[in-house]
């Protein structure tokens, strides 16, 4: 029903799924006393969300999560490219420590015995399961496979493949000389949410929660959109009429004082030499995908409430990096040190945390996620992690922090 399923251990296949939202409760005792973690990752998601001040974005569900958790408004990824940041988050180490700077190297080539975030939870008696993209995948080529996964991190993996994968020939590519994985490309799809890969991912994750076992779960849920190609049901495109959109303002000569090196990995030619009408359609398609994924996040949040898991589940939502939508006179996508690429969404809801419902303006890093989740779940700290626990900020988002973030390209 959900595509490729891989289960390596006998027992509760439905105990946990990997969502990029984390739910944690800090309770002493055996594993059964500890909170679940819903760990939700969204691919290529900029801070194009209502809760981050984007008045154009229609994102009621992620906004709902932010309103009941802590929204970190100055969270920075370690390297704004899919594989390095994901590997960094999951190992708690910086790219220079794991020697992952591109899309082709696996972190275990450098640190073969590292204990990943879900492994740390498994050591404490949790089940650890993944649905969709948590570690790196080539999109859309690897949809429906394990991608660049880390088998020791999971007891069960589910890799849905939906209509978007089967109908790639319908996708419009504004840059035919480039593959749709890298080009501005999109499709206003026919059919329902549940026919798309991300809709299937939400359905599979919900089923895992419904059929969970007695042990607490670490469930990783990874959505593929809004990564290119921008594919979402047509109704989400209709939310953003092209005639009501406009490209980001750039003053004349905006690039004149920017070093050439700043564009070494991205957009050396403004807007890929595309005309404004095409760029506005790309902008529409990106926001459509954001709203589509937001709806799937809403389904997860509704399931957590319906199943009575709200009070013992930590939810974390993050993206692997930010995303350019035409800023700086025509920069698109990622892999720059500009704010739009280095700064990324991070929302954490810990049941009972006194900071819930507030925004945090302190500088934090993605390597902080690993120690934070262990701390708020009441689990032992792993040695040699690069980050620090954000638990003090989860209880007091206005606390003086003096945080420093290191992002590299």
How many Å apart are CA 253 and CA 247, to the nearest integer? 16
The answer to whether the beta carbons of residues 321 and 333 sit under 8 Å apart is no
β-strand pairing of 217-223 with 127-132: parallel
Strand arrangement, sheet containing 172-173 = 172-173, 185-189, 230-233
265 has catalytic annotation: no
The answer to whether the beta carbons of residues 266 and 324 sit under 8 Å apart is yes
Phi first, then psi: what are they for 204, rounded to 5°? -65, -40
Catalytic residue among 34, 47, 71, 136: 136
Helix axes 60-68, 276-306, angle to 10 degrees: 50
Residue among 107, 75, 109 at smallest CA distance from 91: 107
360 has catalytic annotation: no
Catalytic residue among 47, 51, 71, 82: 82
β-strand pairing of 36-42 with 358-360: unpaired
- Cα dihedral angle (366, 315, 217, 119), rounded to 10 degrees? 0
Q: Annotated active-site positions, please?
A: 82, 136
């Amino acid at each position: 029903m959900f595509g490729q399923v891989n289960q390596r251990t006998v027992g509760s296949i439905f105990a946990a799924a990997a969502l990029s939202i984390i739910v944690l409760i800090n309770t002493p005792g055996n594993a059964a006393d500890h909170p679940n973690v819903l760990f939700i990752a969204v691919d290529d998601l900029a801070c194009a969300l209502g809760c981050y001040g984007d008045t154009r974005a229609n994102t009621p569900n992620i906004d709902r999560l932010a309103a009941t958790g802590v929204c970190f408004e100055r969270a920075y990824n370690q390297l704004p490219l899919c594989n390095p940041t994901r590997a960094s988050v999951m190992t708690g180490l910086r790219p220079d420590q794991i020697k992952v700077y591109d899309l082709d190297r696996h972190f275990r080539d450098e640190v073969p015995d590292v204990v990943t975030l879900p492994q740390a939870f498994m050591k404490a008696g949790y089940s650890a399961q993944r649905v969709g993209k948590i570690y790196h995948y080539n999109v859309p080529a690897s949809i429906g496979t394990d991608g660049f996964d880390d088998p020791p991190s999971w007891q069960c993996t589910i890799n849905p493949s939906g209509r978007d994968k089967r109908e790639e020939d319908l996708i419009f590519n504004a840059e035919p000389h480039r593959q749709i994985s890298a080009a501005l490309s999109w499709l206003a799809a026919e059919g329902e949410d549940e026919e798309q890969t991300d809709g299937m991912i939400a359905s599979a994750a919900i089923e895992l929660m419904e059929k969970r076992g007695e042990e607490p779960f670490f469930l990783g849920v990874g959505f593929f959109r809004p990564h290119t190609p921008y594919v979402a049901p047509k109704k989400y495109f209709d939310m953003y009429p092209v005639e009501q959109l406009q490209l980001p303002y750039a003053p004349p000569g905006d690039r004149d004082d920017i070093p050439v090196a700043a564009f070494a990995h991205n957009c050396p030619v403004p807007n890929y030499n595309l005309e404004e009408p095409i760029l506005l359609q790309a902008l529409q398609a990106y926001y459509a995908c954001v709203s589509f994924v937001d709806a799937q996040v809403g389904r997860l949040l509704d399931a957590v409430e319906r199943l009575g898991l709200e009070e013992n589940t930590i939810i974390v939502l993050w993206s692997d990096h930010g995303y350019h939508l035409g800023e700086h006179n025509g920069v698109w996508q990622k892999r720059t040190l500009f704010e739009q690429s280095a700064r990324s969404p991070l929302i954490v809801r810990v049941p009972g945390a006194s900071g819930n419902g507030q925004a945090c303006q302190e500088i934090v890093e993605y390597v902080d996620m690993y120690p934070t989740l262990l701390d708020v779940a009441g689990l032992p700290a792993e040695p040699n992690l690069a980050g620090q626990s954000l638990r003090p900020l989860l209880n007091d988002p206005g606390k003086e922090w003096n945080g420093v973030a290191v992002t590299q390209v």
